[in-house]
Chain A
Amino acid sequence: MKKVMIGNHAVSWGVQRARAEVISAYPITPQTQIVEELSDMVADGRLPARYIKVESEHSAMAACIGAAAAGARTFTATSAQGLALMHELLHWAAGGRLPVVMADVNRAMAPGWTIWTDQNDSLSQRDTGWIQLYCETNQEVFDTTILSFRLAEAVELPVMLVLDAFFLSHTSEPVDLTEPAIVDGFLPRREAKLRLDPADPHSFGALVRPDAYMEMRWQQQEAMRQALDVLPAIEDEWHALTGRRYGALETYRTDGAELLLVTSGTITSTARHVVDERRARGEAIGLVKVKMFRPFPTDALRAALSGVDRVAVLDRNISPGHGGIFAEEIRSALYDVPPDDRPVLFGYVLGLGGRDVTPAVIESIVDRSLAAPSPEREDLWVGVEL
């Protein structure tokens, strides 16, 4: 069934198809329509779930953690300040190996107050132990919501699916809503290996001495590594059912490229357009889209970028005092590439706080990256006028 819908509602429909059992959320722009639609779905019986309307995002994540520990499939959604408020409990969900799924609608952090998109909210949660998946289209948002539950429950780690404020959250696109029977076959009811069960009492999250703590973190790290293998396997299944797949990384028109753009989120769609234009003019420009940020697809990135002359990373985010976060991570991933195969990397910071990234902006980045012998600094800010 195809419907035209905003990205936020694509999340809601994904949650409905996944048959989430406990939802807990707190309103924040630009996420709110996700949980409004879920409220309707719960109220009219389309989604037979418990919906806990809490007094803060912190409690939303706490309630999801409790419900997940009891064995239920759980979901919440947030943005920016709300995600930051959850920070402590993001560690709790991941350390507790609880497969909570959350949608984060990328919104820039205040101050000054802003509701527009950039990735600093989700990327600030990089080291909490959550899998992070960035989406480009509303169809991808719907699919990724369902894939997130399957992935989370397979590796017992929480998953954050991420979509850009307004460019996806409030923009309508056609979405093919996979039929419930198909999703049910792909994503059966959750069966937790361990849960709060009076018939089999265990203590969860107790004090851990130094002789055991590192082993717990090691297992968490191994689960992250496992997720790199699990994602393509479950995408194979999804592809067989729906004809759609995305990959941790997607390469687009990269054959023989002398310059590769690296993007995530909706900037990718604009960059595809620019690549097509340049290819039509005979220029060897290609694109790499990063969908999975944690675990970081290091090997796939090395394979995609090695041997290319130049790479331009487009970061809608900034690690103050360092650079664009994708660029810094990709630089790090390329360190082990032999020097002859290692591309020159241009790290562009752009689009913060929802500033438009138009085809013309990306054209200028292509020209600049082809003309300069090397980047004049680590972080190349685009369009700043003081």
Chain B
Amino acid sequence: MSQTIIKERIPHEDLLCSGHLACPGCAAPIAMNLVLKALGPQTVVTLPACCWSIIAGPWPQSSLRVPLFHTAFETAGAVASGIKAGLQARGDDETTVIAWAGDGGTFDIGLQALSGAAERNEDIIYFCYDNEAYMNTGIQRSSATPWGAWTTTTPAGQPEASPKKDIVSILAAHRIPYIATASVAYPVDLVEKVEKARTIRGTRFIHILAPCPPGWKTQNDESVDLARQAVQTRVFPLLEIENGTEWRFTMDHAGEPVAPYIRRQGRFRHLTDEQIEHIQADVDARWAQLQRRVVHGG
């Protein structure tokens, strides 16, 4: 992706201020910045408990130039539904209402409220920035944590034993109008998906992988490259799903081997070559399943 294309395609106005409180190398503010560039200032953010509760800044400060409603961990889908209804009741049908939740608030504790909002096809965009564990509380496993990973509640002697929950398929089963995965390593693809989502009415769900240096045990300058590698290894394929049935890749995925991606992350340091082969086999199987959905419909 040339710099020229990025400059042409990505809006220049920043709605995220400098001085926010993310850790060095965190991908979550990159994701937020790109999303708000795509959505513009007529946006309201619903923020359940997550790393962003801190990144947004303590009272009386805010790192965002749009209205922001902090709420309880499990409520993003319901509160965003209420905000949209409240704005509509006051005659504002134009403002985009988003939920901005981490993987814990989406895959785990907030899944019920998200499912409710999606089932009702509420007119909101739900973003999950996924750093694959409860990072704000100090790296505990979530159901988004990949198989084999170390966290403080899945120590190396007994690492994560379940595969990552397939949240995209769960949302697809709700037949909502638009679902996408996106990556901070592919900013034009991300912005285009958000711009497209903004023009659609109903529940839209966008899943963004957000590498986390302290949680993944990686260097601060590696996050964007890790995000790129996650796409190219097909660990985190970039796709769109319309109406739950029309699956489409938005990127050529090279199919690089997963071993280098796994080996550079300290959270997988304890894994044997055999275990990494297990991860590769799982990635391959999921890729085959995705291809069937792309060809035949989900």
To the question of whether A and B form a pair in one complex, the answer is yes
Does B79 count as interface, using CB distance less than 8 angstroms? yes
Selecting from A55-63, A265-273, A319-327, the interface stretch reads A55-63
Cβ proximity bits B54-65 to A, threshold 8 Å, 1 near / 0 not? 101111011011
Contact residue range for chain B? Answer: 35 or more
Q: Are B44 and A196 in contact (CB-based, < 8 A)?
A: yes
Closest approach, in angstroms, between the C-beta of B80 and any C-beta of chain A? Answer: 6
Q: Are A69 and B69 in contact (CB-based, < 8 A)?
A: yes
Which of B79, B84, B88, B120 has most chain A Cβ within 10 Å?
B79
Q: Are B59 and A208 in contact (CB-based, < 8 A)?
A: yes
Contacts of A58 in B (CB 8 A): 74-75, 78, 113
Cβ proximity bits B115-138 to A, threshold 8 Å, 1 near / 0 not? 110011010000000000000000
Select A207's contact among B46, B53, B65, B87, beta carbons within 8 Å.
Answer: B53
Contacts of B112 in A (CB 8 A): 55-56, 59
Q: Are B58 and A67 in contact (CB-based, < 8 A)?
A: no
Bound complex: CA of A305 vs CA of B248, how far in Å? 75
Closest approach, in angstroms, between the C-beta of A218 and any C-beta of chain B? Answer: 15
Contacts of B43 in A (CB 8 A): 198
Closest approach, in angstroms, between the C-beta of A196 and any C-beta of chain B? Answer: 4
Select B67's contact among A21, A63, A74, A202, beta carbons within 8 Å.
Answer: A202
Contacts of B44 in A (CB 8 A): 70, 196, 198
Does B169 count as interface, using CB distance less than 8 angstroms? no
Q: Are B95 and A59 in contact (CB-based, < 8 A)?
A: no
Does B81 count as interface, using CB distance less than 8 angstroms? yes
Number of interface residues of A (CB under 8 A): 43
Does A115 count as interface, using CB distance less than 8 angstroms? no
Known A66-B81, A69-B69; contact A196-B87, beta-carbon cutoff 8 A: yes
Q: Are A52 and B82 in contact (CB-based, < 8 A)?
A: yes
Does B283 count as interface, using CB distance less than 8 angstroms? no
Known A62-B78, A66-B83, A67-B82; contact A196-B67, beta-carbon cutoff 8 A: yes
The chain B residue with its CB closest to the CB of A69 is B69
Bound complex: CA of A383 vs CA of B88, how far in Å? 53
Contacts of A126 in B (CB 8 A): none
Q: Which of A71-106 touch B at CB < 8 Å?
A: 71-74, 88-89, 92
Bound complex: CA of A58 vs CA of B84, how far in Å? 18
Q: Which of B196-228 touch A at CB < 8 Å?
A: none
Closest approach, in angstroms, between the C-beta of B87 and any C-beta of chain A? Answer: 5
